[in-house]
Amino acid sequence: MQNVFVYGTLRAGEINDIGAAAARNDIAAPTLVGSATVRGRLFDFGAYPGFVPDDAGIHVRGDVYEIDDELVAVLDKIEEVYPGVEGLFVPREVTVEVKGTPVTCRYYPVQRDSVKGLPEIRCGDWVTHRRANGR
């Protein structure tokens, strides 16, 4: 088991809902640990957001799940992360605070140079932003 911080389409109710992804692949359902934030900048790619870590950035909202190790390969496929291939999303590790407790998580920020010219999501919450823009 490991933890993952999701900030975009992997969040519950979104197009790549992490629970639905587990169910489709007959993997144990992820367990919601709680909400958390990570400092950075969130950008609008149209159908999905991209997160760039930045200690001087805003608090970007997301959710932390405990997941079965088998689910990592499914998440990597959704985020188009393949061994030896440099893609848009880059799996990394981050420590977040959930209910006052530090939790180390896998997450998927984007390459910093990929956001040039894209609109920034200043509210720091993909779901709020998406809904406000009628998507």
> What domains are defined for the chain?
2-120 (3.10.490.10)
CA distance 28 to 22: 6
- Residues 90-135 have pLDDT tens digits of 999 999 999 999 999 999 999 889 999 999 999 999 999 999 987 7
- pTM for this predicted structure: 0.93
Query: Environment class of residue 56 by beta-carbon count within 10 Å: exposed (0-12), middle (13-18) or buried (19+)?
Result: exposed
Nearest to 43 by CA among 63, 55, 60: 60
% of the chain residues with pLDDT over 70: 100
Task: Say how many residues make up the chain.
Answer: 135
- Residues 70-88 have pLDDT tens digits of 999 999 999 998 877 778 8
Nearest to 101 by CA among 3, 9, 18, 31: 3
Nearest to 44 by CA among 130, 132, 134: 130
| φ/ψ (deg, to 5) at 131 | -65, -40
Nearest to 30 by CA among 86, 106, 91: 106
